[in-house]
A and B are shown apart, each in its own frame.
Chain A
Amino acid sequence: MLEQLEGSAAVARAVARCRPEVISAYPISPQTHIVEGLSDMVRTGELEPCEYLMVESEFAAMSACIGASAAGARAYTATASQGLLYMAEALYNASGLGLPIVMTLANRAIGAPINIWNDHSDSMSQRDSGWIQLYATSNQEAVDLHLQAFRLAEQLSLPVMVCMDGFILTHAYEEVDVPGQEQVDAFLPPFEPGIVLDPDAPMTIGSLVGPEAFTEVKYLMHAKQMQALDAIPTIAAEFAEAFGRESGDLLSHYRTEDAETVVVALGSVLGTIAETVDELRDEGVKIGAVGVKCFRPYPLEEVRAALADADRIVVVEKAFAVGAGGIVGQNVRLALSGLPARVHDVVAGLGGRPITKKSLRGLFDDVFADRLEVGKLHFLDLKRDVVERELERSRPSPGPHAERILRDLGIVAARSH
C-alpha cells in the first residue's frame, strides 16, 4: 500500500518488519529519524522480541552488533559520516568475522570542515572494509534494499551497508510502499547462524591467525564477495517476483541502448540525471545513464558490458580520493581497460551542494564540446574565484582553508566588546 512517508520512517518500518532482534545505535544526523522510529516500535512492543541498546558511541554500536550477531541474533544499526569513521575498526572486525549485520548509512560528508549534509565521502572511505555496499536511488528502493540486505547478509554471512543519501532521501516525504509483515516473512526466513556462541557447542571465535593461514582467510573473504555478485541479482529477481517491482541488483540502465555518452552515478542523483537524459534525448542527443547499485563487491564485468559501446563516460560522483582523483571513476576505468572510451571524472554534490539539472546540462554541454580534459578531475559548480584567491593567499603561510576564507572576507573573529 502506498503511503506518504518520510524516508527515515519508511526505512524504520521496513527494518522492523525484518524482525531485528538487537538494535544498537548512537544518534548522528541525518540517521536519527530511522533509529528514533525503531526505538518507538521497541518501546511500544510493536517490534518484539527486540532489544534496543542506546550505546555511548558508534564504535560501541557496531561492537554490540558484533556480539549480538555472534550470539545468533539478527542485528541492525544505522549511522552516518563521522559515526561511520568512529566505528571503522569494528567494521573491519564484523566483516572479518563474517557477521551478517545490516546497517543503514545515511550518507553525509566528512569533516573538517564539519558539514552535516549529503555526499558519499563516508561510505567511500569504508569501501574496502569488507562490507557489501548497496546504494538506494529512491526511498522505495531504500525500503526494498533493507529486505534484500538481510537476505543477502545471512545467505553469505557477510555484513551489508545500505547507503541512502542523507536528507535528500532520509528526510524526503514521498509515496512509498512498505511491504506487510506476512510478505516480508515469506521473503526473509529467520536467521539461522552457522557458527554461534553457544554453551552447548563452545566455539572460540576471533582467534589470533598468523601468517600460515591469514592469506587464506582473506582470500575466502574476497571469494565470498565475488559470490555476492551472483547472489545480488538472484535476490533482486526473487524480490521482483514477490513484490512486483524492480529494486536493487548490481546496476541500473537508463536509455543506454544506443547511447554514445553514458553517465555513471550512485544514489539519488540518478533521478536528476534521468530527467536530464530525457531532455537531451528529446533534443536528439544519444545519452543514457548507468546506476551503480552495488559498489562493493564491484561488478567489474557488468560495468564493462554496460559501458563497452559508449564513446564517452561521464562519472558523476559525490566523493573523491584527495590527492588521487575520482573513486568511482578509477573503478570505471579499471572496468574499461583496453577499451577506447574516454572517461571524465566529475566530483559533484560535496557537502550537500545541490546537483541541479541546470548544472548537469552545463556539464554535459562541456563534455559534448570537448571542453573537459580527459584524465583530469573536474569539480561541478566550483567557485573558481574563491579557490584561486585562497591558493594565491595560502602560498606563504598555512592554516585551515575555511577560516582563512572568512578572514579574507573580513569576518575575522568573534568580538566580545
Chain B
Amino acid sequence: MAEQRVKHYQVGTFAVGNRLLPPEERTVQARTERSNSLTSGHRACQGCGEALGARYALDAAMRATGGRLVAANATGCLEVFSTPFPESSWQLPWLHSLFGNAPAVASGIAAALRAKGREEIRVVGQAGDGGTVDIGFACLSGMFERNDDVLFICYDNEAYMNTGVQRSAATPPAARTANTKAIGPEPGNEFGKGKNVPLIAMAHEIPYVATATVADLRDLEAKVGRAMEMRGARYLHVFVPCPLGWGSRSRDTIRIARLVKETGLFPVFEAERGEVTSVSKIRRRVPVTEYLKLQRRYAHLFTPERRDDLISRLQAIADRNVERFGLLSDPEEAAAMPGEATDLAGLPPDGDAPPERAGEETNVMRLLSETHGGPR
C-alpha cells in the first residue's frame, strides 16, 4: 500500500499530541502510575471498544479518587470476559450481582460507605447498553432521582452482544441484529424506536451527564475526572464499537468511533443539572455513509442495491443532531459537507465468520501505525 499521510486532526485521538505535552498534562494511560484497573489477560474480542472504554474510564476514576474506588458491574460482555473464575482482570474492588440491578447495587454500596463514614471511597456502576437502557433502566432512574453518589457508565455497543447480537433499545435504526435481520421491506432495525438515555438522564436534572467515544480517549478521561469532582448521581454514556456484533474490522474500532461523532450520529456533549454545558464540535463533517460502510450490520443499505431511502433517513437523524446540539463550529460548514468518499476500505467480507482473527497483523500494530502516522 502506498504511504499515506495522516494529519493529526484526522486521527483525533490525541495519541500523538500526548507525547508532546508536559508530563502533568498527559493522559492517565500515559502515566506509569496508572492503575490498570482492567488489566491484561481478559478475554475480550480483538478490537473490543468496551474493554478499551472501561479501562480508560476506570483508570481515570482511580486517578481522580486516589485509588479509593469500588465498581458494581452488570451482567454482560464486560463481566463475562473479565472474570472467568478463578481469574479476574479487575484490580479494584468489584462486584457483579445481576443483569438489571447494577445501579441499585451501586446505590447500596454508596449507602454503606456513607453509613460507615467512608465517603472518601467512591462508587462506579457500569453496564452495557442492555443493562443500562433496558433491563437496568428502572434501577438507573431510581438511582438518578435519589441523587445517590454514584457515577454510572454505560458502554454502548448498541445491542445485546453477550447473548449473540440481539436488538436493544439502543440499537440504531436500520442496523441488523440477530432479531432485526436484513430481511423484509424495511431491513434491519425499525426507524422511530429506541430511547436516548443521556437525554433521559438529563431530565432527572442530576449533577452531570456526558457522552464520549473511544475515539477521543482524552476527552473520556477528562469527563470521568470532571464527574468525580462532583457528588451525587452522574451518568456517562460511552460509544464503544463491537467488531463482532457490527461486522467491522477490529482495526476500525477507533475509526468508527470517530466517524460516529464526525457524522453527527452520536453527539458528544456534557450537561449539568439538565442543561448542556459543552459540545464537542465536529472537526470534519462527513456523510453518514462513511460511517455505515465500515460495518456489515449496515451492508443491506448498499448491496444488493443501494437504499438511498434508508440512508437519507439516517442522514436526517445526523442532521437533526447537528442542528439540535450545535455540533458545527461554523454553521456554514453544514452546506460544505464533502461528498461521499470513494477511497475508503469498503465493507468487510460477507459471511458469518468473525470479522478478524489472530494471524493477521495485530490490532495494536495497526492502531499504532494509524495513530502515529507511520507507513501503512
Please tell me which stretch of B49-57, B135-143, B195-203, B342-350 contacts chain A, meaning at least 4 of its Cβ atoms lie within 8 angstroms of it. B135-143
B137 to chain A, nearest CB (A): 10
A71 contacts B112, C-beta separation under 8 Å: yes
A205 contacts B96, C-beta separation under 8 Å: yes
CB neighbors of B among A19-73 (8 A): 21-22, 24, 49-51, 53-57, 59-61, 63-73
B93 contacts A53, C-beta separation under 8 Å: no
Separation of A93 and B91 alpha carbons in the complex (Å): 23
The answer to whether A60 and B95 touch (CB under 8 A), given A67-B104, A202-B90, A207-B88, is no
A53 contacts B97, C-beta separation under 8 Å: no
Is A75 in the interface zone, CB < 8 Å from B?
yes
Interface centre among A66, A67, A213 (most CB of B within 10 A): A67
The answer to whether A204 and B90 touch (CB under 8 A), given A21-B116, A49-B116, is yes
Nearest opposing residue in chain B for A24, CB measure:
B108
Chain B interface residue bracket vs A:
35 or more
B93 contacts A198, C-beta separation under 8 Å: yes
Is B205 in the interface zone, CB < 8 Å from A?
no
Please tell me which stretch of B22-30, B67-75, B320-328 contacts chain A, meaning at least 4 of its Cβ atoms lie within 8 angstroms of it. B67-75
Question: Inside 8 A of A206's CB, which chain B residues have their CB?
Answer: 73, 79, 83, 94-97
Is B276 in the interface zone, CB < 8 Å from A?
no
Separation of A71 and B108 alpha carbons in the complex (Å): 8
Task: Please pick, from B86, B108, B117, B141, the residue contacting A66 in the complex, using a CB distance under 8 A.
Answer: B108
Is B222 in the interface zone, CB < 8 Å from A?
no
Nearest opposing residue in chain B for A67, CB measure:
B108
Is A197 in the interface zone, CB < 8 Å from B?
yes
A199 contacts B69, C-beta separation under 8 Å: yes
Separation of A51 and B115 alpha carbons in the complex (Å): 6
Is A244 in the interface zone, CB < 8 Å from B?
no
Question: Inside 8 A of A114's CB, which chain B residues have their CB?
Answer: none
| Prevailing SS type, chain B contact patch | mixed
Separation of A60 and B106 alpha carbons in the complex (Å): 10
B92 contacts A199, C-beta separation under 8 Å: yes
A338 to chain B, nearest CB (A): 41
Task: Please pick, from B91, B98, B106, B115, the residue contacting A22 in the complex, using a CB distance under 8 A.
Answer: B115
Task: Please pick, from A54, A67, A90, A210, the residue contacting B109 in the complex, using a CB distance under 8 A.
Answer: A67
A227 to chain B, nearest CB (A): 23
B117 contacts A49, C-beta separation under 8 Å: yes
A60 contacts B69, C-beta separation under 8 Å: no
B127 to chain A, nearest CB (A): 13
Task: Please pick, from B90, B98, B141, the residue contacting A93 in the complex, using a CB distance under 8 A.
Answer: B98
A199 contacts B67, C-beta separation under 8 Å: yes
Question: Inside 8 A of B317's CB, which chain A residues have their CB?
Answer: none
Separation of A56 and B107 alpha carbons in the complex (Å): 12
A3 to chain B, nearest CB (A): 28
Separation of A51 and B116 alpha carbons in the complex (Å): 10
The answer to whether A50 and B115 touch (CB under 8 A), given A199-B68, A210-B85, is yes
Interface centre among A57, A69, A73 (most CB of B within 10 A): A73
B331 to chain A, nearest CB (A): 42
A207 to chain B, nearest CB (A): 4
Question: Inside 8 A of A59's CB, which chain B residues have their CB?
Answer: 100-101, 104, 138-139
Separation of A208 and B85 alpha carbons in the complex (Å): 6
Question: Inside 8 A of B139's CB, which chain A residues have their CB?
Answer: 56-57, 59-60, 63
Interface centre among B68, B91, B106, B114 (most CB of A within 10 A): B114
Question: Inside 8 A of A69's CB, which chain B residues have their CB?
Answer: 108, 112
Nearest opposing residue in chain B for A203, CB measure:
B93
Contact with A along B271-300 (1 / 0, CB 8 A): 000000000000000000000000000000
Separation of A208 and B110 alpha carbons in the complex (Å): 24
Question: Inside 8 A of B109's CB, which chain A residues have their CB?
Answer: 67-68, 70-71, 197
Question: Inside 8 A of A60's CB, which chain B residues have their CB?
Answer: 101, 104, 107, 138-139, 142
Is A302 in the interface zone, CB < 8 Å from B?
no
Question: Inside 8 A of B146's CB, which chain A residues have their CB?
Answer: 53-55
Is A97 in the interface zone, CB < 8 Å from B?
yes
Separation of A97 and B85 alpha carbons in the complex (Å): 14
A208 contacts B80, C-beta separation under 8 Å: yes
A67 contacts B95, C-beta separation under 8 Å: yes
Question: Inside 8 A of A67's CB, which chain B residues have their CB?
Answer: 72, 95, 97, 104-112
Nearest opposing residue in chain A for B90, CB measure:
A204
Is A408 in the interface zone, CB < 8 Å from B?
no
Is A89 in the interface zone, CB < 8 Å from B?
yes
Separation of A343 and B102 alpha carbons in the complex (Å): 46
Question: Inside 8 A of B117's CB, which chain A residues have their CB?
Answer: 49
The answer to whether A55 and B95 touch (CB under 8 A), given A66-B108, A72-B116, A73-B111, is no
Separation of A223 and B108 alpha carbons in the complex (Å): 28
The answer to whether A73 and B116 touch (CB under 8 A), given A56-B138, A67-B107, A68-B108, is yes
Question: Inside 8 A of B67's CB, which chain A residues have their CB?
Answer: 199
A22 contacts B108, C-beta separation under 8 Å: yes
B233 to chain A, nearest CB (A): 13
B111 contacts A53, C-beta separation under 8 Å: yes
Separation of A397 and B113 alpha carbons in the complex (Å): 58
Is A2 in the interface zone, CB < 8 Å from B?
no
Is A209 in the interface zone, CB < 8 Å from B?
yes
A66 to chain B, nearest CB (A): 5
A56 contacts B141, C-beta separation under 8 Å: yes
Task: Please pick, from A90, A93, A97, A204, the residue contacting B94 in the complex, using a CB distance under 8 A.
Answer: A204
Question: Inside 8 A of B90's CB, which chain A residues have their CB?
Answer: 202, 204
Separation of A22 and B148 alpha carbons in the complex (Å): 13
The answer to whether A208 and B112 touch (CB under 8 A), given A93-B98, A199-B69, is no
Separation of A23 and B117 alpha carbons in the complex (Å): 16
Separation of A68 and B95 alpha carbons in the complex (Å): 11
Nearest opposing residue in chain A for B117, CB measure:
A49
B314 to chain A, nearest CB (A): 35
Is B121 in the interface zone, CB < 8 Å from A?
yes
Task: Please pick, from A71, A204, A207, the residue contacting B113 in the complex, using a CB distance under 8 A.
Answer: A71
Interface centre among B69, B111, B121, B141 (most CB of A within 10 A): B111
Separation of A57 and B93 alpha carbons in the complex (Å): 26
The answer to whether A63 and B94 touch (CB under 8 A), given A73-B115, A207-B86, is no
Please name the 4 residue pairs, one residue from A and one from B, whose CB atoms are nearest each other, closest first: A67-B108, A64-B108, A206-B96, A73-B112
A-B contact pairs, 18 of them (CB 8 A): A21-B115, A49-B117, A53-B107, A56-B145, A57-B138, A59-B100, A63-B139, A64-B107, A64-B108, A64-B111, A65-B108, A89-B98, A90-B98, A93-B97, A197-B95, A199-B92, A204-B90, A207-B83
Q: A50-B115, A60-B104, A64-B104 are in contact. List 13 more A-B contacts (CB 8 A).
A: A21-B116, A51-B112, A53-B111, A59-B139, A70-B95, A93-B98, A199-B67, A199-B69, A202-B92, A206-B97, A207-B88, A208-B83, A208-B85
